[in-house]
Amino acid sequence: MVKSFAAEFDQIALLARAADRLRWAATALIEARARFNPVIEALPRLGMALVLLYGGHLAIDGQIGVGSLLAFSGYVTMIAMPFRMFGFVLIQAQRAAASSLRIYEILDEEPAIVDRPGAREPTLDSPDLGRVEFRDVVFDYPSTSRLSGDSTGSTLSGGQPTSVLNGFNLVIEPGETVAIVGRTGCGKSTVARLLPRFYDVSSGAVLVDGIDVRDRKLSGLRDAVSQVPDESFLFSESLHDNVAFGRPDARRSEVEAASRVAQADGFIGDLAMATTKWLASGATPFPAANASASLWPVPFSPILAS
């Protein structure tokens, strides 16, 4: 890819800038260690020198025995290693504190899309069960100006709104397979993201099983909709755990059946043995796993969006 776009020099420049930043960070770390490590290493030895100096003076004067002096020397030697470890733990604690700030920024973030009061689920005898409808849907992605409080939303340079969907209507009956095709950026993936309510529509409504997705419980809605991404991802777990990620209580027979439906049994081989195989995060030793892994949730959800 780099050669096809003749981007070698640009990539080398990017690597050089990244290396400069890494070198700066490494230099700062070395300077910090150069200040503290000598102190951490010197203090135990200083303690030993004081014990020998003062204890030797007392032993010469006969105030303590040689055994007491050796005992105190041994005590100082015993506490030297814990003292060094304390310095190491202190450095690690500072790193952990810096990392925890970033982690808690994410954990403390409140989701913008939550269950509405009175959210409900469809009944099994509903005539619209399995029916999907997009009704006069208008949608545009949140812009930086909107997030900062500007109510004008995102616009093009000419002042026109950049709605991804504008008056979109579609009805998919149970059992139907519908393909939405178009140029890049026309809203195909957006349609799939609106079904499990990753985003809320700007106006109009998306109905699944005859109920507006905003009036349904998120857990039930997302159980009913499976997403097939363009690029699949495998967790650092067994094949069984990857297949049953959305259904942790799934039995082995269900997992094996899901693998067959996804046509993954051809490269997995002996399902009874392979479902326990551990996979590296984001990778797999099986040739076609990345293509078929995306289809594994299909048997567990009545609605499939890709």
Q: How confident is the model at residue 268 (pLDDT cuts 50, 70, 90)?
A: low
Tokens of 262: 């996804």
pLDDT for residue 295? 44
Residue 20: the pLDDT is 93
- In the three-class reduction of DSSP (H, G, I as helix; E, B as strand; rest coil), residue 229 is classed as coil
| Low-confidence winner among 10-19, 81-90, 276-285, 288-297 (lowest mean pLDDT) | 288-297
| Domains of the chain by residue range | 8-107, 132-225, 239-305
Nearest CA among 186, 183, 178 for reference residue 133: 178
What confidence score (pLDDT) does residue 7 get? 82
Tell whether the model's pLDDT for residue 36 goes beyond 60: yes
Instruction: Tell me what pLDDT residue 111 has.
Output: 85
Which residue, among 172, 177, 199, 176, has the nearest Cα to 187 in the 3D structure? Answer: 199
pLDDT at 301: 62
If you average pLDDT over every residue of the chain, what do you get? 77
| Phi, psi (degrees; rounded to nearest 5) at 12 | -65, -40
pLDDT at 41: 77
More confident of the two residues 149 and 235: 235
DSSP 84-113: HHHHHHHHHHHHHHHHHHHHHHHHTPPPS-
- In this predicted structure, what is the pLDDT of residue 156? 45
Q: What's the Rg (C-alpha) of the chain?
A: 32
Distance (Å, rounded) from C-alpha 269 to C-alpha 286?
A: 10
Domain at 132-225, CATH from 3.20.20.70, 2.130.10.10, 3.20.20.100, 3.40.50.300: 3.40.50.300
Q: Tens of pLDDT along 77-134?
A: 787 777 778 777 877 887 788 889 889 988 888 888 888 888 888 776 777 788 899 9
Which residues, other chains included, contact 64 with Cβ-Cβ below 8 Å and sequence gap of 6+?
55, 58
pLDDT at 162: 65
Average pLDDT of the residues in 226-246: 75
Ranges 172-186, 224-238, 265-279, most confident: 172-186
Kindly state the DSSP code that residue 209 receives in the 8-state scheme: T
The structure tokens 């006069």 sit at: 136
**The pLDDT value given to residue 140:** 87
Q: What is the pLDDT of residue 266?
A: 66
Q: Could you tell me if 71 and 51 are in contact, meaning their C-beta atoms sit under 8 angstroms apart?
A: no
Model pLDDT, residue 278: 56
Q: What's the pLDDT score for residue 221?
A: 86
Task: Give the pTM.
Answer: 0.58
Tokens, residue 133: 């409808």
> Could you report the per-residue pLDDT of 172-196, keeping only the tens digit for each?
998 888 888 888 888 888 898 898 8
Q: What is the pLDDT of residue 275?
A: 52
Q: Which residues pair with 203 in a beta bridge?
A: 138
How far apart are the C-alpha atoms of 300 and 146, rounded to whole Å? 37
On the question of pLDDT at 205 being above 90, the answer is: yes
